[in-house]
A and B are shown apart, each in its own frame.
Chain A
Amino acid sequence: MKTVEQRPPELNLDEIVQKYRTVVGFKVKKSLGTRTPDWEDVVNEVITQVIEKVKKGEFRGESSIGTFIYTITSRRIVDYIRQKTKVLKGIPEPAVLPDPCDDAERRERTRVLADAIKRLKPKFREVLDLYYYQELSRQEVAQRLGISPRRVSERLNYAQKLLRKMIKQ
Chain B
Amino acid sequence: MKKCKFKDQIDNYLLNRLEGEDKDIFEEHYFNCTSCFQKLEERNELISTIKTRGAWIFRAEPAPERRSLVPTFEKIYSFFTPRQWATVAISAALLLVAVFGILPQFRQSTPQFYLSENEVVRGSFLSLISPVIDVKGVPSFFEWRQLGQDVEYKIYVYNEKLLWTAATKETTIDVPEDIKQLMVAGHKYSWQVRAFSAKGTLIAVSSRVQFQIKETE
Contact = CB atoms under 8 A, between A and B. Distances in A.
Interface string B46-64: 1111111110111000110
A4 B32 contact: yes
Contact of A133 (B30, B31, B58): B58
Interface in A63-113: 64, 66-67, 69-70, 73-74, 109-110, 113
* Interface secondary structure of A, over-half rule: helix
B202 interface: no
Contacts of A59: none
A20 B33 CA distance: 11
A131 B54 CA distance: 12
Given A5-B32, A125-B57, A129-B58, A26 B40 contact: yes
A69 B56 CA distance: 39
Interface in A107-155: 109-110, 113-115, 117-119, 125, 128-129, 131-133, 135
Q: Which of B49, B51, B52 lies at the interface centre, i.e. has the most chain A CB atoms within 10 A of its CB?
A: B49
A117 B52 contact: no
B9 to A, nearest CB: 13
B49 A117 contact: yes
B15 interface: yes
Contacts, number: 78
Nearest to B40: A26
Contacts of A128: 50
A58 B41 CA distance: 30
Contacts of B42: 160, 164
B15 A26 contact: no
Q: What is the interface residue range for chain B against chain A?
A: 20 to 34
Interface residues of A, number: 32
A23 interface: yes
A110 B30 CA distance: 24
B63 A118 contact: yes
Given A118-B63, A132-B46, A132-B47, A20 B58 contact: no
B22 interface: no
B27 A115 contact: no
B171 to A, nearest CB: 70
B41 A70 contact: no
A27 B46 contact: no
A70 B46 contact: no
Interface in A32-51: none
Interface of A: 4-5, 20, 22-23, 26-27, 64, 66-67, 69-70, 73-74, 109-110, 113-115, 117-119, 125, 128-129, 131-133, 135, 160, 163-164
